[in-house]
Structure 1
């Protein structure tokens, strides 16, 4: 089983992964007889290291890979690199790549692919850990007002989360600068002040400066579109703040709010390990890998 898009999963499969992650976090030990390869062609801290931790926790051996010290610098294609991992004995690969839908070129494989981010496409495991965090907080997604705010057009996180949350019964709303809006997403855009008043979950996104032209910057982004101290006071008492990170402190959010009482930013990171353990488990189970579970 591949995990390339959040839309690959049925609602039932999403809940199964969330339930598995919950069980993993409550002391269920999982031992997998497997080897994995993490192929990260773009920089990453949280996603890459949480996959590493998920593998260590599950007893999965890892093949070491960095593009800068591999045959990639000699011109080796992504397909040939993945086929090499398969030939060496990897049972699955986790890939982050700058090219959207890179996986469409990886058809002739017998091992699962887990998408860790494809350009500005999707980021399904981030979406799953966000869903896990929201479910822990509210118990359900039904009729929750979830506002996704920021650099929508460049965000794979926004796309994955918007699709999943809508399917699971949440009311999805968006906030963005006009030039950063994504017309392909069928959700309403509102202003940030209104968003803070109505949101049960306020999900902020990183301004992805590396994907912008020099003329597409906003020195006053925090005041115009970000979560300031004044806007945080408009939020409902039960509302939470989320962010996939890395956080541009003082840009998307006032620095003092990153670790405030309603912030779940570091909890999201913690939840990422269990979610990725659960995803690896599901992908390998579908691939016929043997594993042992003790309760």
Structure 2
């Protein structure tokens, strides 16, 4: 796996292997380290980000990697430099990998096909967000141990959500029963998954994943009555009370409290929202370690402070 840009292209075996790697890192069974290896990674974020950007930076620093932090507002992008030329610049000055978030769909995939170094997708428009999906499914894996037949309902702005897209692809590959719930204007007819009403979903779902309404991606701006939206399409306290005892509530964040989910439920007993954020660091450590190791294997030089055979998981 040279790059990590899409969950749609991942096999079940590849996803499960990554989950095992994340688990090994979180539990301390494996401690991948690039300390003293002079490894550099460039983080190119062309869109605002808190969780993803900081999570990548923490993951990189825990791995002993030097972070090349890119800021659009003080870069040559303002002079018209293309994404490709910016990335090639970082490759030329010594970056061993690129993490990129871009507002345009498929821009990351095109970049990955053009560079010799690994590219990790930090979110491309309304396309995909594979590392978010990975931390989401790892959170489910911690809770349930398997995915076969797991009922996962993704609720909200499906049409504009890269998180919904990546999760739907990955969960279907893993054998989960994926359903969407959304108001009609938020539905995406290009995704072949059933839509159900949220009141039907709360009764039998193992996972309720709420999504933020991404108004910044809407071409037709519609007035949004936040209270009315929560009452009709969101997770209210009353709907929460009807969840199965074993069910969990998730959200990729940022959370619009009182819109897609009642404010009091963000840190409720069934909520795993902040656990997802914690898992983001371990998940991104696993992805970075995986692509860099593949790069080193191709070069025939593995210098990671631990032996390759130690990474074989049962």
Same fold (TM over 0.5): yes
Q: How does 1:1-150 map to 2 (within 5 A)?
A: 1-27=2-28, 28-32=30-34, 33=37, 34-106=39-111, 107-150=113-156
Give 2:164's match in structure 1, choosing from 138, 143, 158: 158
Moved more, 244-253 or 11-20: 11-20
Taking structure 1 as reference, are residues 140 and 133 closer, same or farther at Cα in structure 2, changes over 3 Å only?
A: same
Off by >3 Å, runs of 4+ in structure 1:
none
Counterpart selection for 1:174 from 170, 180, 185: 180
Counterpart of 1:203 (choices 205, 209, 220) is 209
- Following TM superposition, by how much is the alpha carbon of 1:210 offset from its aligned partner in structure 2, in angstroms? 1.4
Query: Counterpart in 1 of 2:242?
Result: 234
Query: Gaps spanning 5+ residues in structure 1: where?
Result: none
Aligned residues: 295
TM-score when scaled to structure 1? Answer: 0.97
- Aligned-pair CA distance for 1:10: 1.5
Give unmatched runs, 5+ long, in structure 2.
297-301
Distance 1:105 1:14 in 2: 22
Distance 1:103 1:55 in 2: 20
- State the partner residue of 1:215: 222
Q: Secondary structure at the match of 1:132?
A: helix
Deviations 1:96-140 (A, max 9, x none): 000000034423311000001000000000010011000000000
RMSD (Å), alpha carbons: 1.3
How does the TM-score come out when normalised to structure 2?
0.91
